[in-house]
Amino acid sequence: MQWDWLYTFNSFTSMMCYAFSKCVAHLSIPEKISMPLIELSNVTKTYSEAGASKDVLHRVDLMIDQHELIVLLGRSGSGKSTLLNVISGIDVPTSGDVTIAGKTLTRLSERERTQFRRRHIGFIFQFFNLIPTLTVGENVFLPLELVGIDPYDANRRVEKMLATVGLDDRMHTFPDRLSGGEQQRVAIARALIHEPDIILADEPTGNLDYETGVMIIEILDRLVRKQGKTMMMATHSREVAGMADRILTIKDGGIEEMDGGKS
């Protein structure tokens, strides 16, 4: 009898958790919203090492509107990746809140944040982070599988996306057979395939030669900028900064707005 009750209770709670996580994941972000799309409020991120602690982000307040392209500059170790990780929900701040389209990520569980990220955020990693045991096609297919898109539709989308980044003939190749620029194009395809509302790019040209970097920026310009997506991109490159609406610099845990953006 007690087991029956426990079983019913457990089934009910897991059903509620599942339904809740689906709600979180399926929050749809309208084409036009009146509030900032991304809002950081009093965000601090502290790392401790060998007994000493350091605020990499210190009481950061930041608002990013829908469709803005933000470039984030800052010296190595200033906290660019930390900021992007905190916005994406990959990491959580030590204190303060991150809110996206009215949904406060910092109040969600890790599982709920993951669900939210899978649906709404595309993350382009500096070191590509492709899965070496999956082919190019399978790497790009994965985000669609994770949100449950019908495999037939998903395959067609993958083919189309790979053609868009000029890699349709590399569908069945494994990542270790690709050049750095090709791997970064796969990483971009993977970040954009689920049509996220927000793209976070962590030095997408950082490991590429100048010409390949220019090609990557052209692809991002075509697939992200011209489609009115919201993007935040960390970079060391002043040339890349030229395409931004707003340029931010991160220094000593704080964020400053710089002149030079288009808006």
Ligand X SMILES: Nc1ncnc2c1ncn2[C@@H]1O[C@H](COP(=O)(O)OP(=O)(O)OP(=O)(O)O)[C@@H](O)[C@H]1O
- The residue ranges that bind ligand X (CB under 6 A) are 47, 49, 56, 74, 76-82
The Cα–Cα gap between 100 and 168 comes to 34
Q: How far is the CB of 252 from Mg ion (least distance, A)?
A: 16
Q: Find tokens 């002043």 and name the residue.
A: 238
**Closer residue to Mg ion (CB): 82 or 115:** 82
Q: Find tokens 């950082």 and name the residue.
A: 206
Considering the rule CB under 5 A, would residue 81 count as an interface residue with Mg ion? yes
Q: How far is the CB of 213 from Mg ion (least distance, A)?
A: 16
| Interacting span for Mg ion (CB under 5 A) from 34-42, 44-52, 79-87, 177-185 | 79-87
**Closer residue to Mg ion (CB): 80 or 185:** 80
Q: Which residue, among 93, 95, 113, has the nearest Cα to 103 in the 3D structure?
A: 113
Question: Biggest alpha carbon distance in the chain?
Answer: 70
**Closer residue to ligand X (CB): 82 or 135:** 82
Q: How far is the CB of 81 from Mg ion (least distance, A)?
A: 3
User: And the tokens for 92?
Assistant: 């959580």
The stretches of 27-150 forming alpha helices (DSSP H) are 80-88, 110-120, 136-146
Considering the rule CB under 5 A, would residue 82 count as an interface residue with Mg ion? no
The Cα–Cα gap between 239 and 216 comes to 13
**Closer residue to ligand X (CB): 2 or 76:** 76
